[in-house]
Structure 1
Amino acid sequence: MTKAKVTQHDRITLAVIGKLDNGALFYEVTPQEPLVVELGDNQLPPSVETALIGMRVGETRKIRIDPDEGYGPRLKDLLHEVPRPTIEKRLKPKSGMVISQQVERDGKKCVVPATIIEVNDETVVIDYNHPLAGHHLTYELTVLAIEEPA
């Protein structure tokens, strides 16, 4: 059943554009392939969910969220300096290159992306922070459909 305004626990269909403060696009969901979420299921940051409450179909709203609510702050302890010969066994390192690294989390091995941020004569500095960590994120949300919870 279609509703007039978004309320908590509604199933909503969205188009979303996510940009950084410098205008760089980091996320886009088009009306042709929309995002469908149920408010209250923790699929969206809390501020985004709050911004959607009261919106109508066809309405667009912008919201800016802090790093703490997005991908967290940039952490210095996630920068690792590795001897260059160790890296060069696998690849020729270049600043800005994204690589896959195997790490252990909670006793399980998993692969995570990491970014090479500096290449020196002796060492390579690898950043394990999420690329969006430390950034404010601006989302432009357009409600395409609203359905009452089942």
Structure 2
Amino acid sequence: MKIAKNTVASFHYTLTNDAGEVIDSSDGREPLAYIHGEGQIVPGLENALEGREKGDKLNVDVAPAEGYGVKHDELVQVVPREAFQGVEDLQAGMQFQGRNDHGAINVTITKIEGDQVTVDGNHPLAGETLHFAVEIADVREPTAEELSHGHVHGVGGHHH
């Protein structure tokens, strides 16, 4: 069976950056399972997996526009430390949920200088080319329940 819209695909992967550093991997874990065509993985990788089948191995380079997006400078802001009331020990790398004109936004603290805290609302991998080494572990039909819920159940997927 080939990966196509509304099939359940499971795959092992290693994700690296341009420097070859491992960002994420399924090594030692169950393969990642998703319903193809539902936008559950980055578009560039999903497009590259279309038509593949169990046992296929491939390397996929995903440009920022097809991954986690381009970096938007306007999402980097300096805010006063008092915006983080109740948090005693602020550190770079901490993540918080905030709000902007478009609703909820996740931000990461990138720098702290005195009472000024720099936060970045871009995804941590925005602007990065993603390099995936992939091995397709399985391709199958989804269950009716998986389709109605919009996600995979069981091993490598969602458990209720």
Aligned-partner SS, 1:49: helix
Deviation, 1:64, is 0.8
CA distance 1:34–1:105, change in 2 (3 Å): farther
8 A Cα contact 1:70 1:136, kept in partner:
yes
Question: Structure 1 vs Structure 2: percent identity of aligned residues?
Answer: 26
Once the two structures are superposed, residues 28-63 of structure 1 have per-residue CA deviations (whole angstroms, 9 ceiling, x without a partner) of 224751222232222233332332234342221010
8 A Cα contact 2:10 2:32, kept in partner:
yes
2:96 to 95, 100, 103: 100
Superposed CA RMSD in Å reads 2.8
Residue in 1 that maps onto 2:148:
none
- Max Rg structure: 1
Question: For this pair of structures, how many residues does the alignment match?
Answer: 142
Whichever structure has more helix as a proportion of its residues is 2
Whichever structure has more strand as a proportion of its residues is 1
Distance in 2 (CA, whole Å) between partners of 1:68 and 1:36 is 23
Stretch moving more, 27-36 or 10-19: 27-36
Q: Which amino acid aligns with 1:27?
A: D
Distance in 2 (CA, whole Å) between partners of 1:56 and 1:64 is 19
8 A Cα contact 1:101 1:114, kept in partner:
yes
Distance in 2 (CA, whole Å) between partners of 1:89 and 1:33 is 38
Distance in 2 (CA, whole Å) between partners of 1:65 and 1:39 is 17
- Alignment gaps of 5+ in structure 1: none
TM-score when normalising by structure 2? 0.70
